[in-house]
Structure 1
């Protein structure tokens, strides 16, 4: 079943395309694949990036907020070599950064796996900063505004590699099943009192 990729805001895409065309932005980035690219590069597969707020710990209702849009940067052969991210500023969408590394290939793999599912989803990215974790969030409401919303209990989260210890990468988890694990790991351990 095909994924229903939400359209990215035009200024977010434009910020990445402009940065790709800027020798200064590419030269100053820490992405050797972009610096050495000899072919035309394209921005594909726009995904809204949401952050799972720390308020999800301690049993409170989870919250998310949109932090940007991520685009895979592909060579003419269709291989992703990097990613570019835009962020929302008070003046609108602006280029944030380019990067490469394991999450680029892991995102591609997770999207291919999601394409083979029998249920259609709206793909997003959900980060859990307290665990250094990034997931492909497969949202069940295809018509939802990609900039807002919470994971529904039946939504799927696919941890990208590298995943935190004890959480299998590239294995879909229902949000309702994974949330208790995340909550437990995000909850600070109680301080031990010692008698004086």
Structure 2
């Protein structure tokens, strides 16, 4: 769809090159999955609840991340816009509650980091999934850099680690990731 839209707009070749690079970046993420497994084992396997936060396009990714984690690990998970943190959710944060911050949007990075600091002040364990151009030395999962208009692909890069976090959390709980309980495809159920 992106290539088609760019072709209609007349700017197809640059975008195609960027998407090719993105495919290589996605493979690099998959190749680095051991670090994601370690994070899942350390912070998510034994957690009673987990929260994903992000802003802009990252806020949309938090919803998908929460859905995937709760579907196969049976954990209470919520994803939401980081700016909504003070509207109730912050009262649920206890010592060692995992808060996973998604950061791929440069205009929102500082605000999301500020929200993560608020959760850490309440005892939460913040885990960051961040693009390289926005990363600090303390970040956990570093995604390939995205700048300028390419930031729109942040959610695509975030998809790999959020899926792997759900997968490894489920495995760590000795659950069958291929047959989650009580789920049915919405297209087959009326």
TM-score normalized with structure 2 length? 0.22
Query: Could you say which structure has the higher helix fraction?
Result: 2
Structure with larger Rg: 1
TM-score normalized with structure 1 length? 0.22
Higher RCO by CA contacts (8 Å cutoff, separation 6 or greater) = 2
